[in-house]
Amino acid sequence: MNLLHSSIAGTVESSDIQIMISPRKEGIELILESSVLSQYGAQIRKTILEVLKRLDVKNAKVVAVDKGALDCTIKSRVETAVFRAMDQKENLPWEVM
Amino acid sequence: MINQAGREIPDEHLVDGIEVFQGQYYREEYEYKKAGPKVKASIKPKESKLVENLREAILKSELKDGMTVSFHHHFRDGDYVVNMVMDEIHDLGIRDITVCASSLGTAHAPIVRYIEDGTITGISSSGVRGEIGEAISEGKLKNPAYIRCHGGRVRAIETGDIHIDVAFIGAPSSDEYGNARGKGGKSDCGVLSYAMVDAEYADKVVVITDTLAPFPNFPPSIGQQDVDYVVVVPEIGDSKKIANELLRFTTNPRDLMIAEYATKALVNTPYFKDGFSFQTGAGGPSLAVTRFLKPYMIERDIKMGMVVGGATKPMIDLLEEGLIGAIMDAQAFDLPSIASANSHPRHFEISTSQYANPMNKGAFVNKLDYVILGALEVDTDFNVNVITGSDGVVRGAPGGHVDTAAGSKCSIIVAPLVRSRIPTIKDSVITVTTPGESIDIVVTEVGIAINPRRKDLLEALQGIDLPIMTIEELRDEAYRLAGQPSDVLFEDQVVALVEYRDGTLIDVIRKPKKISFDL
Amino acid sequence: MHPGKKRVRRTMMFLNAHRAGLVKDAYIYKPDSVIFDLEDAVAENQKDSARIQLYNTLKYMDYKGTEKLVRINGKESKHWREDVRASVAGGCDGIRIPKCEYRSDVLLVEEEVIKAEKEFKRPIGSTLLMAAIETPMGVINALELAQSSERIFGISIGAGDFMRTMHAKRTAEGYEMLAARSQLVLAARAADVMCFDTVHTDVNDFEGLRKDTELIKNMGFDGKSVVSPKQISVIHKVFSPSEKEIDMAEKVIYGVEEFAKEGVGVFIVDGQMIDIAMVEGARRVIDLAKASGVYGGEL
């Protein structure tokens, strides 16, 4: 899956995470800022990378600003950003997500 | 050496008779001779102790490099005194000062530059909020900071562990001879409890006021017999931030749920009978408990015999309705409490020593039945952390937490299970402030855990319609929601010492490691 | 019959499916059902985001037995079909269809639901439906809507613009809602489905809420929608049976059982005539009592 353009999803409200994603030539670049970095930084990174892998996104730059989002929300916002970056609004592959 | 709370205290801090924590009542019957100030007699009559300005007062007090100054925090976030005095001390070129404050907050951020440039090399305080906490955690203070709870600070001063050279006491009103009160000025704070021990034990005492009252300004919280100089300044603080207009009742449904469970648990314990004594904080759920107790009290015809404050409006209301016998006040939080202090015949100002000193002949916390407290973290041993944040940076304050938990018959923690992904209930707290043996009940919106040590409370609450769980089950639920947290990583450098109320060391705080998860 | 069709539904709490802070643990407030809203609460440019969060919340969060319903967008929107796919794929308990007026409105959605159950391998028939009525025409067709599909577990009246459409004025006694509420409860009982009352929008008016809830409970309604957790305990208290009611319900159930053994179908308890027709009502009382946490018996 290749991203067509950059996109943004989520908010910086408490318990949410804002994901900005943009196309990149090769590989994944991640910049992570979080209000819970010490205790959940590793887990947040793991979740973001897992979702990208599952959606077969191999090349992207992700800037994440986290305010204590649970894994479920992190997954949602990354997925939303990816599908927006590919202009896909319907017929999402729910069974793989 | 590992102490009784399971924490490692590096040997280099166990000098000069300092011991590790060995239990909440370890120092029962500890005997000592009280310390005392050096006093210069004032035999020749003089009309006034007024000096021109702060600079004069500091010069006359003979403050020198390496000495200790003290402040109270009755002006909370509206305080101007600490910054004013430290500015002057700095400008006079005096260095290597230890600041012994009852608490420091966000209003005192300007003194961070004095920490950085070596004007201040030591701090003793309950609160280390905001930028001061960050500076301490970064290791900018030359000597490790001492975190002391309210009772512990008084003990340290009265036993001589700390010697105050010059006490600076901000007062809403004072006469020219030094009789200072918490009322009668432009920015009243109600009581001056924290400053009383400073006035009695410091070598030199400077009263700073913005309202000169006619002599004698009686009855005084701080007496003329202890005061050396009086300075009048334009403003001692921002009155809007000193007294909350009205502490807002929380409408947060989560806080209300927690308060309802806490109240229901409380009224089903054996101490809930006519004349019971009570203390609570000013946070959301804590304040709501005061409100929720009322219908139960009326239904069972039970009155509170004594409330120990922090006083707030809900308490004043109960007092005026005749549902409280007396309020013993060490801090007034809002305008109604300030007005009531020392005016209502049953609302009394007490000193912090009377309130919580563990080493006098009996403090008010020992007569408490219930105390409602908050917590940043609680672990499966019921230890509580109210000092370090989830990132390991110092940002809280023990206040009266340690003292009231140790003294009360039933201490109740009220806290949400998870705060913005950070579990409140976990395997091990980052910093032990209050030891688990002092904590009896933990109430969250998901469930209530009772300390297994308290079989009597477990029995009392059996069969009551409450979600009773074990502390491990609460932790499991927190981790299930938020995920298992990684341990916060620290360097070796000790930046602060956490002193238990009796003078032993219960934990140390180190400098957090810088981390990044960027790819 | 679907096992969840007649469960206790005193409160149904609306949640904006886009708001992370709300969906993470809404179940702690113990509503009987939650309604994840993809419709009115969600801004047009966040419909996709809400839908994805809805799916993940349904699929991966443990809501501890709280029923999970979804309010999809209306048939005029371009969103509703994908809403259905996401809801069924995530495993929701039911779908609330907004602005229902005719049988065909329900059947349109049902067709999409069947497609999705097949696509995502959910048991056919596992997704319940609910018809939300918001217009005078919908009220008039309440019976038709209630009977439109086996999947319909209930119908609800949503006030919203309703009062203005009716040219009615708000009254203390609730006359402005009288016509709609009467029609609804009649239709629901005739079709043997549940019926639910509208949201009380002034979230800090607890006395008004209590009065309103008493009124609709006495009319025969099964529950009420809520927008704030603070409203839940007020409504639950109203629906909580009294000790007397619980006592009578037990007597009915045990009594019918006992007397049936002797071949007796009608008997007297506390001066009241009891027969087997009353058992269903008695069971409803016991279910409500259990849900309210006030039942200590063995039924």
Token pair 């407290």 is at which residue? B373
Q: What is the DSSP letter of A65?
A: E
Structure tokens at B129: 């909020």
Task: Determine whether domain C11-239 maps to CATH 3.30.1490.190.
Answer: no
SS3 category, C225: strand
The DSSP annotation for A9-41 comes to ES-SSTT-EEEEEEE-SSSEEEEEEETTHHHHH
* Cα–Cα distance for residue pair B382/B377, rounded to 1 Å: 9
Q: Which of A69, A73, A94 sits opposite C55 (nearest CB)?
A: A94
Helices C47-60 and A71-85 pack at an angle, to 10 degrees, of 140
User: Where is C35: in which H helix or E strand?
Assistant: strand C33-37
CB atoms closer than 10 angstroms to residue C250: 18
Q: Which of C25, C229, C230 sits opposite B481 (nearest CB)?
A: C25
CB-CB under 8 Å, A17 with C82: no
CB atoms closer than 10 angstroms to residue C182: 14
* Cα–Cα distance for residue pair A21/A3, rounded to 1 Å: 9
Please state the domain extents for chain B: 49-242, 253-489
Q: What is the count of residue pairs from A and C with beta carbons less than 8 Å apart?
A: 72
Structure tokens at B268: 């089903």
CB B67 within 8 A of CB B203: no
C14: which strand partners?
C35
Q: Flag whether residue B175 sits within 8 Å of chain C, measured between CB atoms.
A: no
CB-CB under 8 Å, B257 with C29: yes
Q: Flag whether residue A55 sits within 8 Å of chain C, measured between CB atoms.
A: no
Please state the domain extents for chain C: 11-239, 243-291
Q: Which of C24, C62, C293 sits opposite B465 (nearest CB)?
A: C293
User: Where is B204: in which H helix or E strand?
Assistant: strand B204-209
Q: Flag whether residue C90 sits within 8 Å of chain A, measured between CB atoms.
A: yes
Structure tokens at B380: 């499966």
* Cα–Cα distance for residue pair A91/B303, rounded to 1 Å: 65
User: Where is B325: in which H helix or E strand?
Assistant: strand B324-332
* Cα–Cα distance for residue pair B222/B70, rounded to 1 Å: 15
Kindly report the nearest CA distance between residue C229 and chain B, in angstroms: 6
CB-CB under 8 Å, C60 with A73: no
Structure tokens at B510: 């180190």
In chain B, which among 400-459 make CB contacts under 8 A with chain A? 420-422
Helices C178-191 and C206-219 pack at an angle, to 10 degrees, of 40
CB B416 within 8 A of CB B518: no
Q: Flag whether residue B485 sits within 8 Å of chain A, measured between CB atoms.
A: yes
CB-CB under 8 Å, A36 with B390: yes
Interface test with C, best of A50, A70, A82, A95 (most C CBs within 10 A): A70
* Cα–Cα distance for residue pair C150/C167, rounded to 1 Å: 34
* Cα–Cα distance for residue pair A16/B402, rounded to 1 Å: 35
Residue environment code for C117-132, b if the CB has 16+ CB neighbours within 10 A, otherwise e: beeeebeeebbbbbbb
- Full 3-state SS string of B18-54: CCECCCCCCCCCCCCCCCCCCCCCCCCCCCCCEECCH
CB C24 within 8 A of CB A72: yes
Q: What is the DSSP letter of C192?
A: T
Q: Please report residues of B whose CB lies closer than 8 A to that of A41.
A: 486, 515-517
What type of residue sits at position B348? F
CB-CB under 8 Å, A37 with B519: no
Q: Please report residues of B whose CB lies closer than 8 A to that of A68.
A: 420-422
CB atoms closer than 10 angstroms to residue B359: 21
CB C114 within 8 A of CB C106: no
Q: What is the interface pTM, i.e. ipTM, of the complex?
A: 0.97
Neighbours of chain A (3+ CB pairs under 8 A): B, C
Kindly report the nearest CA distance between residue B384 and chain A, in angstroms: 18
Kindly report the nearest CA distance between residue A72 and chain C, in angstroms: 6
Q: What is the CA radius of gyration of chain B?
A: 23
Q: Please report residues of B whose CB lies closer than 8 A to that of A15.
A: 420-421
The pTM score is 0.94
CB-CB under 8 Å, C56 with A75: yes
CATH number, domain B49-242 = 3.40.1080.10
SS3 category, C45: helix
CB-CB under 8 Å, B251 with C230: yes
Q: Please report residues of C whose CB lies closer than 8 A to that of B256.
A: 230
* Cα–Cα distance for residue pair C128/C153, rounded to 1 Å: 7
Q: What is the CA radius of gyration of chain A?
A: 12
Structure tokens at B243: 């007294």
Structure tokens at B191: 């009581």
CB C183 within 8 A of CB C170: no
Kindly report the nearest CA distance between residue C162 and chain A, in angstroms: 32
Q: Which residue of A has its CA nearest to C87?
A: A94
* Cα–Cα distance for residue pair B170/B233, rounded to 1 Å: 10
Print pLDDT tens along chain B (519 aa): 999 999 999 999 999 999 999 999 999 999 999 999 999 999 999 888 999 999 999 999 999 999 999 999 999 999 999 999 999 999 999 999 999 999 999 999 999 999 999 999 999 999 999 999 999 999 999 999 999 999 999 999 999 999 999 999 999 999 999 999 999 999 999 999 999 999 999 999 999 999 999 999 999 999 999 999 999 999 999 988 888 766 777 889 999 999 999 999 999 999 999 999 999 987 889 989 998 999 999 999 999 999 997 888 889 999 999 999 999 999 988 888 999 998 899 999 999 999 999 999 999 999 999 999 999 999 999 999 999 999 999 999 999 999 999 999 999 999 999 999 999 999 999 999 999 999 999 999 999 999 999 999 999 999 898 999 999 999 999 999 999 999 999 999 999 999 999 999 999 999 999 999 998
Within 8 A by CB and 6+ apart from A43, the residues are: A71, B483, B486
CB B71 within 8 A of CB B99: yes
Kindly report the nearest CA distance between residue B310 and chain A, in angstroms: 30
Q: Please report residues of B whose CB lies closer than 8 A to that of C230.
A: 251, 253, 256
Q: Give me the numbers of helices (H) and strands (E) for chain A, helices first please.
A: 2, 4
Structure tokens at B265: 């648990």
Structure tokens at C116: 């999705």
Q: Please report residues of A whose CB lies closer than 8 A to that of C49.
A: 9-10, 76-77, 80
B68-71/B166-171 β-pairing: parallel
User: Which parts of C120-161 fold into alpha helices (H)?
Assistant: 136-140, 142-146
CB-CB under 8 Å, C81 with A90: yes
Task: Determine whether domain A7-91 maps to CATH 3.40.50.300.
Answer: no
Q: Which of B420, B488, B519 sits opposite A30 (nearest CB)?
A: B519
Burial class of residue B248, CB neighbours in 10 A (0-12, 13-18, 19+)? exposed
Low-confidence ranges of chain C (pLDDT < 70): none
Please state the separation of Cα A75 from the chain's center in Å.
Answer: 7
Kindly report the nearest CA distance between residue A72 and chain B, in angstroms: 10
Q: Give me the numbers of helices (H) and strands (E) for chain C, helices first please.
A: 12, 10
Q: Which residue of A has its CA nearest to B391?
A: A38
Q: Please report residues of A whose CB lies closer than 8 A to that of C53.
A: 72-73, 76-77, 80
* Cα–Cα distance for residue pair A15/A36, rounded to 1 Å: 10
* Cα–Cα distance for residue pair B147/B315, rounded to 1 Å: 29
Token pair 């009542």 is at which residue? B25
- Full 3-state SS string of B395-455: CCCCCCHHHHHHHCCEEEEECCCEECCEECEECCCCCCCECHHHCCEEECCCCEEECCCCH
CB-CB under 8 Å, C28 with B257: yes
Q: Please report residues of A whose CB lies closer than 8 A to that of C21.
A: 13-16
Task: Determine whether domain B253-489 maps to CATH 3.30.70.3420.
Answer: no
User: Which parts of B246-374 fold into alpha helices (H)?
Assistant: 253-267, 284-299, 313-320, 335-340, 352-356
In chain A, which among 71-90 make CB contacts under 8 A with chain C? 71-73, 75-77, 79-80, 83-84, 89-90
Q: Flag whether residue C86 sits within 8 Å of chain A, measured between CB atoms.
A: yes
Structure tokens at A5: 């353009």
Q: Please report residues of C whose CB lies closer than 8 A to that of B483.
A: none
